[in-house]
Chains A and B, each alone.
Chain A
Amino acid sequence: MPESSVVKDIRSSSVECRTSPLRQFSQSSLPLHRNSYALSTFCAEHNVQECLSHINQEVSSFGLPPVWTEQDGSSELNIVAVLNCMYDLIQLHRRGLRTLENMEVEQLKSNSNVDYLQLTSTRLKEQLEISKRENTGLLERERQLQLKVKSLQNCLKNEKEEVQKLQNIIASRASQYNHEMKRKEREFNKLKERLNQLLVDKKEKKQAIDVLNNIGRADGKRSLWKTEKTEAKHEGEMYKTLLSDYDSRQRELLMENAELRKVLQQMKKDMVSILSARKPAAKGDKHEHGGTQAASEEEEDEVFDSSKESVELYCVHAREKLTNSIRLQWRRLKSHVERLDSQVSLAQTGETTNTDAVPRETHEEEMDRLKLEIQQCKDFIQAQQQLLQQQLSSPCDEEAASLLSDGYMLQEKERLGEEWKTLEGQRKIFERERRNFTEAAIRLSHERKAFEEDRATWLKHQFLNLSPFSDSKKPSLSKSKSAFLISETGASAAVAPEKLVKHQAESPRCVPLTSPSTADLYRTLCLIPEDSSAKPKRQTEHAEESSIFCAKVRLKRWDDIQDRSLAQEKNSSI
Chain B
Amino acid sequence: MNFSEVFKQTNQLCKVSPDGKYLATCVQYRLVVRDVSTLQILQLYTCLDQVSHMEWSSDSLFILCAMYNRGLVQVWSLEQPDWHCKIDEGSIGLVSSRWSPDGRHILNTTEFHLRVTVWSLCTKAVSYIKYPKACQKGVDFSRDGRYMALAERRDCKDYVCVFVCDDWHLLRHFETETQDLAGLEWSPNGCVLAVWDSCLEYKVLLYSLDGRLLSTYSAYEWSLGVKSVSWSPSSQFLAIGSYDEKVRILNHITWKKITQLEHPAVIDNTKATVYKEVEKRPGVGSDEMSLHSITMGTTLFNTQSKYEICPLPVQIPVVKPDPDRANPKIGISVLAFSSDSRYLATKNDNMATAVWVWDMQKMSLEAVLEQTSAVRCFQWDPQRPRLALCTGNTKLYLWSPGGCVSVQVPTEGGFQVQSLNWHCSGNSLILLGKDQLCLCYMDTDQEDK
Contact = CB atoms under 8 A, between A and B. Distances in A.
Interface of A: 166, 168-169, 171-173, 175-180, 187, 190-191, 194, 198, 201, 204-219, 223-224, 226, 230-231, 234-235, 237-239, 241-242, 245, 249, 253
Nearest to B92: A207
Nearest to A171: B323
A169 B222 contact: yes
Contact of B191 (A198, A201, A241): A241
A211 B209 contact: no
Contact of B171 (A172, A206, A214, A238): A238
B189 interface: yes
Interface of B: 58-59, 77, 82-93, 102-104, 111-112, 117, 119, 121-124, 126, 146-147, 164, 166-167, 169, 171, 189-191, 199-200, 208-210, 222-224, 252-253, 323-328
Contacts of B124: 209, 211, 214
Contact of B326 (A176, A214, A245): A176
B83 A238 contact: no
B167 A224 contact: yes
Contact of A212 (B84, B90, B146, B167): B84
The secondary-structure label for the interface of chain B is loop
B85 to A, nearest CB: 4
Contacts, number: 129
Given A172-B224, A218-B104, A234-B166, A178 B88 contact: no
B222 A226 contact: no
Contacts of A218: 58-59, 102-104
Contact of A223 (B89, B122, B171, B222): B122
Contacts of B222: 166, 169, 173
Nearest to B221: A169
B171 A234 contact: yes
Contacts of B171: 234-235, 238
Given A166-B222, A176-B326, A198-B91, A215 B209 contact: no
A234 B169 contact: yes
Nearest to A170: B222
Contacts of A213: 83
Given A172-B223, A211-B85, A238-B210, 13 more contacts: A166-B222, A169-B224, A172-B224, A172-B323, A207-B117, A212-B82, A217-B102, A218-B58, A219-B102, A237-B146, A239-B210, A241-B146, A245-B191
Given A190-B112, A234-B171, A239-B210, A205 B324 contact: no
Contact of B85 (A210, A219, A242): A210
B113 to A, nearest CB: 9
A82 to B, nearest CB: 121
B232 to A, nearest CB: 15
B362 to A, nearest CB: 19
Contacts of B224: 169, 172-173, 176
Contacts of B167: 223-224, 226, 230
22 contacts: A172-B328, A173-B222, A179-B326, A179-B327, A187-B112, A191-B112, A208-B88, A209-B85, A210-B84, A210-B88, A212-B84, A215-B83, A215-B104, A215-B122, A217-B122, A223-B122, A224-B167, A226-B167, A238-B164, A238-B209, A241-B146, A242-B209
